[in-house]
Structure 1
């Protein structure tokens, strides 16, 4: 079966999951942490090398202060509880997103997760935290502009690769497959540059209900896709060999 090297997931539906059960949204977010564990396990078992999870967007700061506080608490809980297990399972943690303005305790947790797992060689778990696709491209553009001003980059020689090399995902392959739960059919400012030729699967299940079976079903659907990258089928097949 044709398997994706890199799967990215927009984890959507925690709040609605809780509301449908007459519970606070915070309960849905806590239940969503269990789904994160399911996704990590399923990715490793199915030979996925990179799993990117959209944990907290740059726009999520606009949510009610209590909900933001709950989400920050869950991040701390996840790192403190699961980091040792991820490390033991040879999972490497990457964090992408803008770290400017983050509190010292959050920064310390993110750095600890990356430093502890830096030499691990199994699944690469990419956490998109305080991440926005437009912000990613904006920061990359600013970096290139600074290099041009310093005479380090010739504007005439700027290529797509120049931009890719300045994104948060510079050392990470573009996602082959992007999954979004909850039935919403948009990408919500997630990996805008990187998803140019990604396959998309939109699932009706809410994120807390996402389990290993849902992951396998998505992989099975992906295996049926014909990825041509703008070429005809025969030329795409020839390029892949």
Structure 2
């Protein structure tokens, strides 16, 4: 499948076409490294190459939003050395890739409380977000220190404060009111959620937003995921009939 094929799929009425928003749970870095008798950080480094290839493929396909689950709120339970390696990799990625993101018109957005990564990384992320804010080709969303249950708790607290202050009536709280207070308030909901490495769970990722998303679980470990894998996933999605509860 190539970009022309994807465009044809999008225009045809026989299936779902090309998704506006693809979200990926990037899983399998550690297992990739273990199978090669390498340290886990080698898997994370190879996974960063897969990120680069996937972003480029998303641009070819015309995907508007690509969300990548990079670091969950539960990942702090991992060994301190691995967390430190991941922070270093994030720092390296921002330094190495920001120019390409900016030149390709990619807007960077972060969901989750990334301030926990410390002042240096917070500043780098803030600068990257500001530098790419006006870009319009693809929105790259990185989930950092993100957990969907925490996000929903924060939204509920914000609504409770608004109700207590009289800014909103309790009976006016509806789906739109909740969505307006989520980290993804300015994004369309994900059409397709992909998880690599053969696991079949969402792991606290976009639980509200993925209510009607198509799910695709693939055996490929994330470091081996690339352009052909994303094109194949979009082709699979394009053959599905999304009814949203209707007939």
What is the TM-score with the length of structure 1 in the denominator? 0.95
**Residue 20 (structure 1) aligned with residue 35 (structure 2):** yes
Structure 1 residue 100: deviation in Å? Answer: 4.8
Alpha-carbon separation, structure 1, partners of 2:65 and 2:184: 11
2:223 to 196, 201, 208: 208
**Residue 132 (structure 1) aligned with residue 135 (structure 2):** no
Backbone CA RMSD of aligned residues: 0.7
How big is each residue's C-alpha offset from its partner over 1:47-104, in whole Å with a ceiling of 9 and x where there is no partner? 1000000010000000000000000000000001000110000100001102453310
Larger RCO, structures 1/2 (Cα 8 Å, 6+ apart):
2
Partner of residue 150, structure 1: 165
Which aligned pairs between 1:30-69 and structure 2 lie closer than 5 A? 30-69=45-84
> Do the aligned partners of residues 178 and 45 (structure 1) sit closer, same or farther apart at CA in structure 2, a change above 3 Å counting?
same
Alpha-carbon separation, structure 2, partners of 1:64 and 1:25: 11
2:196 to 181, 184, 202: 181
- Kept after mapping to 1: 8 A contact 2:87/2:117: no
Alpha-carbon separation, structure 1, partners of 2:59 and 2:80: 35
**Residue 87 (structure 1) aligned with residue 102 (structure 2):** yes
Q: Which runs of 5+ in 2 are unaligned?
A: 1-8, 10-16
**Residue 194 (structure 1) aligned with residue 209 (structure 2):** yes
Partner of residue 238, structure 1: none
Alpha-carbon separation, structure 2, partners of 1:177 and 1:167: 19
Q: Which runs of 5+ in 1 are unaligned?
A: 233-241
Partner of residue 124, structure 2: 109
**Residue 170 (structure 1) aligned with residue 151 (structure 2):** no
- Kept after mapping to 1: 8 A contact 2:115/2:122: no
Alpha-carbon separation, structure 2, partners of 1:95 and 1:230: 31
Equivalent residue of 1:101, what SS? Answer: helix
Alpha-carbon separation, structure 2, partners of 1:72 and 1:99: 11
> Do the aligned partners of residues 100 and 149 (structure 1) sit closer, same or farther apart at CA in structure 2, a change above 3 Å counting?
farther
Structure 1 residue 226: deviation in Å? Answer: 1.0
Alpha-carbon separation, structure 2, partners of 1:100 and 1:212: 32
Structure 1 residue 195: deviation in Å? Answer: 0.2
Alpha-carbon separation, structure 1, partners of 2:233 and 2:124: 31
Structure 1 residue 7: deviation in Å? Answer: 0.3
